[in-house]
Amino acid sequence: MRFTELLNEAVTAEVYHSTSVYLAAKILQDGFFRLSNSIGNKTEQQYAPKGYPYFFSTSRSKVGDYHRFTGSSACMFVLDGNWLNQHYKAKAIDYWDGAWRDPNTGRTSESEDRVFSRTPTISIECVKQVHVLLKEKTEYRSAQVRGILIQCKKLGLPVYLYTDESSWRLQNINRAVQPSAVLNILRGQYPKGYSGEPYQSIEPWLELIMKNKKTDLSPKGEKLRYNLVYYGYRNQQDDNHIANDFSNSRKPDSGGYDMANKVTEYMRKNKIPDLLTLKNILAKKWHDMSEAEYASK
């Protein structure tokens, strides 16, 4: 697929960001949006200005393709585009290269207003309104919506609750419902969080950056170290899957997201231009340490 050129250098005066109620509750509690990381994804990197590895996707249309499909719940943030333009670099992108012009795709006319940042977060100071959809009582989601309503009240943010998707999508505040009128669907146990440990493919790479002894490495870190010393060091053009690992960890709800951002910050501070260079630096580091260890015996 061919991607079009950037369209202009700013977002529109009002833009929209749609997300799950789970992430919306977390955003409001934390006080900031977590941004996606373009490192490791060539398609995303072609849009990013130099030195701006993080991006935030917004839409110019509240009824556009980026939030075309919802489940039983969803949340839409209405954002101040002028505030974003004053604090960040921003560009409009026709990501789908005019695919909406073909009626067979089922897509509508939609382009993304993308905000670029040097850091992985953007303050919720840009939020003007919050629109929440909850069609029915759902385990966890009902409690998360309650959390959104409570936090918005604490922050003084206008928040609107809907039980039908059409009114939510159009942000028809005349069809919004009062929480007291739908207590039957708002009740539910608040989630305690995920108790397992999601697979984090970035963790071994971070280990090889931060640690300097084989004995300090986890089994996954040692496996990666071995592969770099005996294969990656010899093949300077093979990235040993680091780009794929980063691509899988680039979004805020991905396992390894925070670790990927730590690696990105390390690259920025040490002026490492890309992931292949990082991989070769780590391969040399651990190869040289292995050679020194062998020579000392």
| Torsion sign (Cα): 226, 224, 263, 29 | negative
Query: Within a 13 Å sphere around the CA of 262, how many CA atoms are in the beta-carbon half?
Result: 13
Average pLDDT over residues 193-214: 78
Query: What is d(CA 38, CA 116) in angstroms, rounded to the nearest whole number?
Result: 10
Predicted structure pTM score: 0.84
Residue 51's region, left for phi above 0, alpha for psi from -120 to 50, else beta, is left
- Which pLDDT tens digit goes with each residue over 241-258? 999 999 888 889 888 899
Q: Report yes or no: 175 and 167 within 8 Å, Cβ to Cβ.
A: yes
At 166, the pLDDT band (50, 70, 90 cuts) reads very high
Q: Report yes or no: 168 and 63 within 8 Å, Cβ to Cβ.
A: no
Percentage of residues in the chain having pLDDT higher than 90: 64
Tell me what pLDDT residue 95 has.
Answer: 61
Query: What is d(CA 224, CA 218) in angstroms, rounded to the nearest whole number?
Result: 10
80 backbone dihedrals φ, ψ, rounded to 5°: -85, 105
Tell me what pLDDT residue 70 has.
Answer: 77
Tokens 């697929």: give the residue.
1
Is the pLDDT at 195 greater than 60? The verdict is no
- Which pLDDT tens digit goes with each residue over 256-279? 899 999 999 999 999 999 999 999
Is the pLDDT at 183 greater than 90? The verdict is yes
Tell me what pLDDT residue 5 has.
Answer: 43
**At how many degrees (to 10) do helices 21-30 and 141-155 cross?**
30
Q: Report yes or no: 38 and 30 within 8 Å, Cβ to Cβ.
A: no
Can you list the pairs that 43-49 forms with residues at least 24 positions away whose Cβ atoms lie under 8 Å?
Answer: 43/3, 44/250, 46/3, 47/6, 47/91, 47/93, 47/114, 48/116, 49/89, 49/116
Least confident window among 19-23, 109-113, 149-153: 109-113
Average pLDDT over residues 1-20: 71
